Amino acid sequence: MHPTNTRLCLIRHGETDWNAERRVQGQMDIPLNPAGLLQARAAAHGIAGHEFSALYSSDLLRAHQTAEQLAQHHGLPLCIDIALRERHYGILQALTAEEARIRHPQASLRHAERDPEYAYDGGESLVDFARRVLDGFEALARRHIGETILVVTHGGVLDILYRHATGRRLQAKRDFVVPNAALNWLERHADGWRVLLWADRRHLEATLDEL
């Protein structure tokens, strides 16, 4: 790795019951389920042999519980960063897609269309969310130039980073996966971001995509 670059291993939190139910979590604080705890431990073993300068996590419980497994296995202090939080989905939080279509049909439609300006009646627009995520990761990259860091975050955050690194539009339909507890390697270099390896699940037996 070039001495002016920053390398990041990004891990989506382990599975929750709401993931299994396909229920929108957003910034609701839902714990890992037993499968998610096993995935978190598997991820800790999956990064064995790699050295990291720091470990960061979202403050939401499902990410924090995942990060605790990594911290224990690798002897890293855990730093909490609220910029790593999932997007706030406002009135759609706690609903399945079917419940959202029935209770909030217009919000459900604008969500499906990835309307970049829609903020879910009290939530966070896609544009604002992307700005928060990218500003947060630029700050992390500057703080750890020449180092490799470990980050535990959420599916929506990883979606933004992948699109940014590969030049995909925010509004475009997703054509990539974001599984629970997979390993995603990115690098910040002088000209921007690049994906080194995405959705590595060799350490996992079963995992759910973010959608």
Within 10 angstroms of residue 112's Cβ, the number of other Cβ atoms is: 12
The CA distance from 48 to 168, in Å, is 32
Using a 10 angstrom Cβ sphere, with 0-12 exposed, 13-18 middle and 19 or more buried, the burial of residue 56 is: buried
In the annotation, is 15 catalytic? Answer: no
Catalytic residue among 15, 86, 124, 210: 86
Report residue 73 CA to chain centroid gap: 21
> Cα(139)–Cα(54) distance, rounded to whole angstroms?
14
Residue of 13, 154, 164, 203 marked catalytic: 13
Q: Look up residue 89 and give its DSSP letter.
A: -
- CB count within 10 Å of CB 32 equals 25
Amino acid type, 127: V
- R_g of the chain, CA atoms, integer Å: 16
Q: Are 22 and 163 in contact (CB under 8 A)?
A: no
Q: Provide the token pair at 164.
A: 């940014």
Q: Give, to the nearest 10 degrees, the angle between helix 126-143 and helix 155-166.
A: 80
203 part of the active site: no
Residue positions annotated with a catalytic role: 13, 86
